[in-house]
């Protein structure tokens, strides 16, 4: 398996390519959520088109849920979107916060940041901003966000524990997050675990569901709630790029599951002494 730095660079390169991809490729019915082009990136996507604030230029079909739909955002809130891409969840969150709120998107892919800023400029929004940075070391101060959202991003980060610690730091006391992500039940076949495309496509970087929820508990969050869960079916033509037909048959007959979950949790109103939140 690659090192953490190598995995991050792999993700950066893949998502830079996706940011530069023409939107028409997703609109022609080939690559969208059906993934008939053989790409794993779009298999997970949920339909955003009915949500208020949706902007098609910002939707690259790279998510795996609708975290902003579940995030309980109120007018005037400060919201941070982790791995903000072209701005899809930022613009929907902005609709919920209204003019009195603020939404910050963080992404470590420069081409995504540039694309999101272009989209915000076209929309004329002056209370959204996009910051270049690593979500393991967020370029924001402590205790500033009412709400944090993220869509199919933490599975791309090798050290997920660091991200949850940063979420705890950045949320205000009593603030909360709603995060959509990919998790596993059971172990993937070895060839899938080691496939670079499967990592960048949000599959092989995913961890066990109970481990994921355990990290949230261990970080000190409370009121943990599984808001949505759905099984993800990766098409056979994609899986056969990495495993044999015999292994595919074994995989499909096993109890291994790939799931999209949306999970909610709250930062305590008053935390342990010394962590700066009280």
DSSP per-residue codes, 73-93? --TT-EEEEES-TTSHHHHHH
DSSP 8-state code for residue 274: T
Among 142, 149, 167, CA closest to 53:
149
Instruction: Give the model's confidence band at 33: pLDDT under 50 very low, under 70 low, under 90 confident, else very high.
Output: very low
Quick one: how many helices (H) and strands (E) in the chain? 11, 7
Instruction: Give the model's confidence band at 29: pLDDT under 50 very low, under 70 low, under 90 confident, else very high.
Output: very low
pTM of full prediction above 0.85: yes
The H or E element spanning position 223 is strand 222-231
Strands (E), the chain: 78-82, 102-107, 128-132, 145-151, 171-185, 222-231, 257-266
At residue 130, the pLDDT reads 98
Residues forming beta bridges with residue 78, ordered by sequence position: 102
Strands 102-107 and 145-151: unpaired
| Dihedrals phi, psi of 207, to nearest 5 degrees | -110, 175
For residue range 59-107, list pLDDT tens digits in order. Answer: 988 889 999 999 999 999 999 999 999 999 999 999 999 999 999 999 9
pLDDT surpasses 50 at 21: yes
> Which structural domains are found in the chain, ordered by start?
4-266 (3.40.50.150)
pLDDT surpasses 80 at 37: no
Least confident segment among 2-11, 115-124, 150-159, 224-233: 2-11
Alpha carbons within 13 A on the beta-carbon side of 195: 18
Share of the chain above pLDDT 70, in %: 89
DSSP per-residue codes, 42-62? TTT----TTSTT--GGG--S-
Q: Please tell me whether residue 255 adopts helix, strand or coil conformation.
A: coil
Q: How far apart, in whole angstroms, are the C-alpha atoms of residue 21 and residue 187?
A: 32
């Amino acid at each position: 398996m690659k090192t953490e730095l190598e995995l991050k660079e792999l993700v950066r390169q893949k998502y830079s390519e996706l940011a530069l991809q023409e939107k028409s490729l997703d609109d022609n019915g080939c690559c969208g959520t059906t993934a008939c082009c053989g790409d794993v990136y779009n298999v997970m996507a949920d339909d955003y088109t009915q949500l208020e604030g949706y902007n098609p230029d910002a939707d690259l079909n790279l998510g795996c849920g609708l975290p902003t739909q579940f995030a309980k955002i109120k007018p005037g809130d400060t919201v941070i979107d982790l791995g903000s891409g072209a701005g899809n969840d930022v613009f929907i969150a902005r609709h919920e916060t209204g003019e009195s709120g603020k939404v910050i998107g963080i992404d470590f892919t420069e081409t995504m940041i540039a694309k999101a800023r272009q989209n915000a400029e076209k929309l004329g929004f002056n209370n959204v901003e996009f910051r270049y940075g690593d979500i393991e070391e967020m370029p924001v101060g402590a205790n500033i966000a009412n709400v944090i959202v993220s869509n199919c991003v933490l599975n791309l980060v090798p050290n997920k524990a660091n991200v949850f610690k940063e979420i705890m730091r950045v949320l205000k006391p009593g603030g909360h997050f709603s995060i959509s992500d990919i998790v596993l039940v059971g172990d993937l076949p070895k060839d899938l675990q080691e496939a670079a495309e499967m990592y960048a496509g949000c599959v092989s970087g995913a961890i066990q569901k109970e481990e994921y929820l355990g990290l949230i508990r261990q970080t000190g969050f409370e009121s943990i709630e599984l808001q949505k869960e759905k099984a993800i079916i990766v098409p056979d033509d994609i899986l056969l790029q990495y495993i044999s037909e015999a292994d595919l048959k074994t995989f499909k007959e096993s109890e291994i599951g790939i799931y999209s979950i949306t999970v909610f949790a709250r930062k305590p109103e008053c935390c342990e002494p010394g962590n700066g939140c009280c």
